Chain A
Amino acid sequence: MTSPILTVSNLTTSFRVEGQWKSVVRNLSFDIKPKETLAVVGESGSGKSVTALSIMRLTPPQSSKIEGSIKLNGKELLTLPDADMRHIRGNEIAMIFQEPMTSLNPVLTIGFQIAEALILHRGLSRSEAEAETIRLLEKVRIPAAKSRFHEYPHRFSGGMRQRVMIAMALACKPKLLIADEPTTALDVTIQAQTLELIKTLQDEEGMSVLFITHDMGVVAEIADRTVVMYNGDEVETGATEDIFASPKKPYTKALISAVPKLGSMIGKERPMRFPVVDRDTGESDVPVEVPDTVKAAERPVLEVAGLTTRFEIRSGLLSSVKGRVHAVENLSFSLMAGETLALVGESGCGKSTAGRSIMRLLEPLAGSVLLDGVDVLKLNQHDLREQRKRMQMIFQDPFASLNPRMNVGTAVAEPLLINNLATRSEARDKVADLLERVGLQPEMANRFPHEFSGGQRQRICIARALAVEPRLIVADEAVSALDVSVKAQVVNLMLDLQARMGLGYLFISHDMAVVERVSHRVAVMYLGEIVEIGPREAIFQNPQHPYTKRLLAAVPIADPARRLQKRPVSNDEIKSPVRPADYVPPVRQYREVSPGHAVMIWGEEWEKKDPAAIAA
């Protein structure tokens, strides 16, 4: 029985907030064996990040205290003097963080930042450190490592910066790597690459990994054992397979049932609610498919044809047009009343821009958007305001979506008052009704947004969108910023509202697992164009386009049993939709695979380097 690398016993971390000590982590105990990956999973506020910072003793010294015991290879860390602890940081324990865009110092070259650790802990000379750094950069697969040594962070993309961070962490060959949500801010395919890299390096270096995340899919992919945390307390610990297959505590059951598993909707025709698990008893209801809400016989509520939106890039002395961002290129699709069409893709694919162009919050360059037959893009300002009642939008960030100085009731009533749909007193009643419909209490109308949680705020935004009784709601990553269980509840709410009111949803998202649960039809976007569109079952079970296959292959599956299947992951960066000023977009052709399922005919550039296509 090998002794653990790290033993944490009864860890309690408290912060001083406004003069009072508040414990954020209570009595946490776990250990990590050599070469093992332990995942600490929880929602926001669970204390998982604080745990990582406590192990490294990076919490602010004056206003925090750490109690308990943390032993690294038998050596107690909490009582070490500062100088010795500094010797451990970056050397025996290394850490990588969540936001690659802000985790590197912008005024120092990346080579310098990596070499710094080597010079400090290993006493290498400058030239020795440089050579070693270049070797590290190659190890994390950064192309042209030698020349990139002297570059600054702003020249690297998010995924690349995370690799630089990994190189920096591995420089001194630590025994333990702490990864605090390292892939949360990355796109799906980049996330898959990064996870793959971490796994490979772990094998090569023989180190242990403490992986902190909120994504159960990632946990299932990489963790040998898992600790589940809630509100600072340890809920359940065990082997990952056991936790997924037979969770013991009600919270764990609730958490696992709220996670959509890619592939779990096979055979189901229509979207399905998430099971609702009681927090205290652990009992769950059995979700069924939603009733058929699609009004196929009527005219589609939304018909988009040839939608094109481009942005100009100006630079140089005279601000001449140097290039264009082809954000949305010739988009065409239709949406029936009561139907949910998902627009999926990664950063830069144009899905958000498409949503805003359809809402005419941005002015598209060309195309038509027919809302119940009326072309929204051709209306003048006055008529546009009339038509706006038919479609509404919910945004990603629940904190920025509500005016902090307006109470909730006023915010929800505003669309009614702007469009003269109700008098003040009528509006008050309507607001109470709307709040109830989204599962809140009417008394909450007098409160201000900062008094609510993220999930509650998103419900308020939904209530606000429903006020004018729209036919179509554009949900732009509406659940992406919410915790797992809250996400499930808001999705259930949206499905219920769709059943009751016959709403159409344009569901813009990058989260394939949620999309699988919620949509009737799916359109996959890449660089501003739809590469594949069809019913949900067809797209997920029979993807045709190489990009769709790559996307589906990259999604972490929340099922440990399928973990060891090596899935091919390409190493490409996500391309950017920026083109030179004189670029003429090629004319695209589509072919029909089956009724309703169309795929873009793709060129050779997709054939050559796509391992997923080769493997498939």
Chain B
Amino acid sequence: MAGSTLASPSADPAAGAAVSQVSVSPGRETWRRFRRHRLAMASTVVLGLLVLGVIVGPWLWPVAINEIDFSAQLQGPSWSHPLGTDDLGQDILARMMYGGRISLAVGLAAMVVATIVGVLIGALAGMSRKYADPILMWVTDLFLSLPQLPLLLLIIYLFREQLKAIFGVEGGVFVLIVIVIGGLRWMPVARLVRAQFLSLREKEFVEAARAQGATKMRQMFRHILPNALGPVIVASTIEVSSAIIAESTLSFLGLGFPPDIPTWGRLLFDAKDQLDTAPHWALFPGAAIFLTVLSINFIGDGLRDALDPRRVI
């Protein structure tokens, strides 16, 4: 291409000119930019507190989650029950901490599944030069057209019993939900990874590596993958919040974890018929889901700005 765009704004003809004293690696740059995003930093704190709360909380508040006490039915927040009680007199705070562990764990695990599958498929499609790419993309588009929620409902309902038999009650449903949610959410990640690979594959530094004799594996792992991960990290972060919402939705529709496991969605399912008499029962778990998802989304946004600064002006 004839004389196209010129070099950097800091065109310094003197070759041995001084470079900044402190080496600024890309990692440190990213962290510095993340710190500037106030909402993301605040959300990291909030999320940290929430996670800490559900992990450490049960030790600090050792109330049983299924201690039935009919005398304390549907009470609002009080000193003995900071978040109130449900229709069986069970303590909502304790139930929320227990359920929170599960909801968060499901979110994290589903994200891992979706990311691993998505990166694998996206990388294979992105690196291929012949047939793998169109076939994998057709499969991806196919899965993208599947109606997610109906399918989720269907599979969980149908296979719940079988997996309970293999992994035990809680474990079985956990595995099923994680696999199904993750298995229906890998597609955007795959598309993203493929797009990154396709564009990075043609970059000169990858060609240079090829010219030096690097094998395809080396090109992929040392050159393409580290530069492709930025958007994938952002997408994965937001995946966690999507997975948490998906699990809550399932539980809310009555088709998630078994009734005695108080995930936040399940608490809402139980609470929805008592809205007029005991609004606190629905509000607290709902607010917890909202805060968790909101902070994860803000963190994802902060990461996006940090990893790919495209500030306007």
Interface residues of A (CB under 8 A from B): 43-45, 60, 62-63, 184-188, 190-191, 214-215, 279, 346-347, 356, 359, 361, 384-386, 388-389, 392-393, 395-407, 411, 414-415, 418-419, 438-441, 444, 446-448, 450-456, 459, 461, 464, 468, 480-483, 485-486, 489, 510-511
Contact = CB atoms under 8 A, between A and B. Distances in A.
Contacts of B16: 439-441
Interface in B1-50: 1-17, 19-20, 23-26
B212 A482 contact: no
B160 to A, nearest CB: 45
B212 to A, nearest CB: 4
A489 B11 CA distance: 13
Contacts of A399: 7-8
Given A402-B205, A404-B26, A407-B25, A215 B3 contact: yes
B19 A452 contact: yes
A480 B223 contact: no
Contacts of A346: 2
A450 B24 CA distance: 9
A182 to B, nearest CB: 12
B208 A395 contact: yes
A482 B208 contact: no
Contacts of A190: 2
11 contacts: A185-B1, A187-B2, A388-B213, A399-B8, A415-B213, A448-B24, A454-B6, A454-B7, A455-B13, A481-B6, A510-B2
B25 A448 contact: yes
A398 B6 CA distance: 10
A461 B208 CA distance: 9
A438 B16 CA distance: 10
A456 B23 contact: no
B2 A347 contact: yes
Contacts of A359: 211
A403 B5 contact: no
Nearest to B224: A403
A482 B3 CA distance: 9
B10 to A, nearest CB: 5
B204 interface: yes
Contacts of A454: 6-8, 11
Given A62-B313, A440-B15, A452-B19, A184 B212 contact: no
Contact of A397 (B9, B204, B218): B204
A-B pairs, top 5 by smallest CB distance, nearest first, are A454-B7, A385-B213, A415-B212, A395-B204, A401-B204
Contacts of A389: 213
B212 A347 contact: no
A272 B271 CA distance: 86
B203 interface: yes
Interface of B: 1-17, 19-20, 23-26, 203-205, 207-214, 218, 222-223, 226-227, 313
B15 A483 contact: no
Contacts of A400: 203-205
A215 B4 CA distance: 12
A481 B1 CA distance: 10
A520 to B, nearest CB: 24
Contacts of A397: 204
Contacts of B222: 403, 406
A48 B4 CA distance: 17
B212 A453 contact: no
A486 B4 contact: no
Contacts of B25: 407, 448
A419 B213 contact: yes
Contacts of A384: 213
A485 B13 contact: yes
A468 B17 CA distance: 27
Contacts of A444: 19
B212 A486 contact: no
Contacts of B14: 279
Contacts of B203: 400
A185 B4 contact: yes
Contacts of A440: 15-16
B211 A188 contact: no
A468 B4 contact: no
B8 A453 contact: yes
Nearest to A231: B11
Contacts of B208: 393, 395, 401, 461, 464
B10, B19, B204 — most chain A CB neighbours (10 Å): B204
A480 B4 CA distance: 8
Given A45-B11, A60-B313, A418 B212 contact: yes
A510 B8 contact: no
A453 B2 contact: no
Contacts of B214: 414, 418
Contacts of B210: 361
A459 B15 contact: yes
A439 B209 CA distance: 23
Given A439-B16, A448-B24, A405 B6 contact: no
Contacts of B205: 400-403, 411
Given A403-B227, A483-B13, A510-B2, A393 B211 contact: yes
Nearest to A474: B211
Given A62-B313, A63-B313, A388-B212, A486 B13 contact: yes
A461 B8 CA distance: 16
A191 B2 contact: yes
Contact of B11 (A356, A361, A486, A510): A486
Contacts of A404: 26, 227
Given A419-B213, A438-B15, A453-B17, 18 more contacts: A44-B8, A44-B9, A185-B1, A188-B2, A346-B2, A347-B2, A359-B211, A392-B211, A393-B208, A403-B227, A405-B227, A407-B25, A418-B213, A419-B212, A439-B15, A444-B19, A456-B12, A456-B17
